Structure 1
Amino acid sequence: MAQQQTGSYVCPPCGRCDSIVYQQPGKCPHCGMRLIPQQTSKASRQEAGSICFYLYDGTEVLDFAGPLEVFSYAGFRIFTVGKTKAPVTVQGVLKVIPDYSIQDAPPADIFAIFGGDDGVAAGDPEVISWIKSRDAATKGYFSVCTGAFVLGRAGLLDNLTVTTFHNSIQSLQQAVPSAKVLANVRYVDNGRILTTAGISAGIDGALHLVAKLKGEAEAMRIAKHMEYDKYVPEQGMTVKH
């Protein structure tokens, strides 16, 4: 009979119970995920990188909450930023206290922006200037829904193929004339910049990004754990350069 391994085990990154340490492998009694060695979990978080979630008054809840769930399970270090550290009211009902303001936010590998009352951010010169100032240290961008308008205002979508919320396709085309704005696509991956269509498409784009950075098996594991059966690998568009 094989001897059962002992040591330090945790569940994969989920943001809820992955800090609980167990002495034997098995399944987490809280979330049901299969336990992994603690050192593997730490290495996974370090390799995944960091993501800055910029939130503004009127941000759509599912636009950021869906991708947050995906990226959290994948082990990314996520932090939120508001223009100030005052609570941000999202969807008009939920208050979120940002971790940082634009005055003290640390750099991040990926900058993520979401839809809703996007003009609050896109029409704020101070916020747009701050986004531009971080560009040299930012490896990639991720937008959901009309968050693309914020990236467009920062000049990041010029001459790219992109997408946004289905009711805003023509408006984004007018806002960024040099871009090619596609309808009827879940996401468009330009390499450095990934734009998605509305709301639930953000989950697909986030899973695509996880697959790109950590492998398709990891994306499928997360989709299965979330019981998100809509995810189909490569259902969006990847622009070949």
Structure 2
Amino acid sequence: MKKLWMLLLLFPFLVSAKPQTDTTYRCPPCGNTCDNVSFSKAGTCAHCGMTLVSKQEKDSITAQKKISICFYLYDGVEVLDFAGPMEVFSYAGFNVFTVAKTKAPLTSQGILKINPDYSIADAPPADIFAVFGGDDNVTTNDPEVIAWIKSRDKATQSYFSVCTGAFILGKAGLLDHLQVTTFHRSIANLQSAVPSAKVLSNVRYVDNGRIITTAGISAGIDGALHLVAKLKGKDEAKRIAAHMEYDKYQAEQGLIVR
């Protein structure tokens, strides 16, 4: 009886000592200021529109190693070639940063001004190196930049190109003996530039394991979603595609070289 009375006396203290579960909701990592905003109930973020997650889910996501991806840009780069994949990777929580030969502002399609985060002199290493189409001769004909790309190879886990950005990877010797693709009007030219490769037409992207090349513009979004699915799962890619209202996305619609 004495033990029972002791338990009854201690019960309020035992209950109050129990850890309280945080019932607030957070915006999943999207790279915007709303990453730090809390919400009292489930739903969508009022700022970016993404589906909210619990604090525990947010902590689990942020505890994972953040994948870094270097976007190499140059004067005349195609806006949608890099902007579409940039949105995909941003919503996937990747650490995206831009690099150019120098930190001088770039102009895309004669309209959009871009201030690179880094130059090739001070750019940090990245898990993924990405290049894009446009006036790609600016880079393919620049021995200093090509040498810089080659110098980072050991620290780079994988490569991603959109449209004629494949010519840049080809010039760096990264496409030799692979199956690859590019912008539909540049298939023959890439085949001439990289004769040992097999350049494919009528395919959205080609995944060789370490290197993903895509066709033009919208195919870059397909390839980016494929890369997210590969690294974070198909459900994550589907979530991002739905958020972007990119109803064209279909899992594994490109060529995956086994």
With the length of structure 1 as denominator, give the TM-score of the two structures: 0.93
Stretch deviating more after TM superposition (182-191 or 23-32): 23-32
Q: Look up the match of 2:45.
A: 28
CA displacement at 1:6 relative to structure 2: 3.6
**Number of residue-to-residue matches in the alignment:** 237
In the alignment, the residues of structure 2 paired with residue 7 and residue 102 of structure 1 have an alpha-carbon distance, to the nearest angstrom, of: 45
Written as runs of structure 1 = structure 2, the 5 A alignment for 1:12-51 is: 12-26=28-42, 27-38=44-55, 40-41=57-58, 43-45=60-62, 46-51=64-69
Alignment partner of 1:121 is 2:125: no
1:56 is aligned with what amino acid?
Answer: Y
Tell me how large the CA RMSD over aligned residues is.
1.7
Q: Do the aligned partners of 1:25 and 1:36 also contact (CA within 8 Å) in 2?
A: no
Shift of 1:7: 4.9
Q: Is the CA contact 1:144–1:164 (under 8 Å) kept in the aligned structure 2?
A: yes
Tell me if structure 2 keeps the 8 A contact 1:48–1:213.
Answer: no
Specify the SS of the correspondent of 2:164: helix
Q: Which runs of 4+ in 1 moved over 6 A?
A: none
Instruction: Give SS of 1:198's match.
Output: coil
Query: Which residue is 2:203 aligned to?
Result: 185
Which residue number in structure 1 is paired with residue 253 of structure 2? 235
What are the within-5 Å matches in structure 2 for residues 72-87 of structure 1? 72-87=90-105
8 A contact 2:175–2:194 mirrored in 1:
yes
Larger radius of gyration: 2
Contact 1:88 1:96 in 2 (8 A): yes
Matched, 1:199 2:217: yes
For 1:38 and 1:111, how far apart are their aligned partners in 2? 32
Equivalence map 1:213-232=2 (5 Å): 213-232=231-250
| Residue 75 (structure 2) aligns with | 57
Contact 1:6–1:24 at 8 Å: present in 2 too? Answer: no
2: CA distance, partners of 1:170 / 1:230: 27
Give the Cα–Cα distance (whole angstroms) in 2 for the partners of residues 108 and 38 of structure 1: 28
Which of 140, 150, 154 is the equivalent residue of 2:168?
150
Residue 203 of structure 1 deviates from its aligned partner by 0.1
Q: Partner of 1:66: helix, strand, or coil?
A: helix
Contact 1:142–1:194 (CA<8 Å) still a contact in 2? yes
> Relative to 1, partners in 2 of residues 1:42 and 1:59: Cα closer, same or farther, differing over 3 Å?
farther
The yes-or-no answer on 1:90 pairing with 2:105 is no
Which digits, 9 at most, give the CA deviation of each residue in 1:7-45, with x for residues without a partner? 553212223343232153422112332222456446535
| Distance verdict in 2 for CA 1:157–1:35, change over 3 Å | same
CA contact (8 A) 1:6 1:25 kept: no
Q: 2: distance between equivalents of 1:57 and 1:38? A: 42
* Structure 1, 16-25 or 112-121: larger mean CA deviation: 16-25
1:106 matched to 2:124? The reply is yes
Given that 1:110 and 1:141 are in contact with CA atoms closer than 8 Å, whether structure 2 keeps it comes out as yes
Partner of 1:71: 89
TM-score, normalising length: structure 2:
0.87
Deviates more, 1:33-42 or 1:177-186: 33-42
Going by fraction, where is helix more abundant, 1 or 2?
A: 2
Q: 1:66 to 1:159 in 2, by over 3 A?
A: same
Q: Distance in 2 between matches of 1:34 and 1:167?
A: 39
Please tell me the residue identity of whatever aligns with 2:223: G
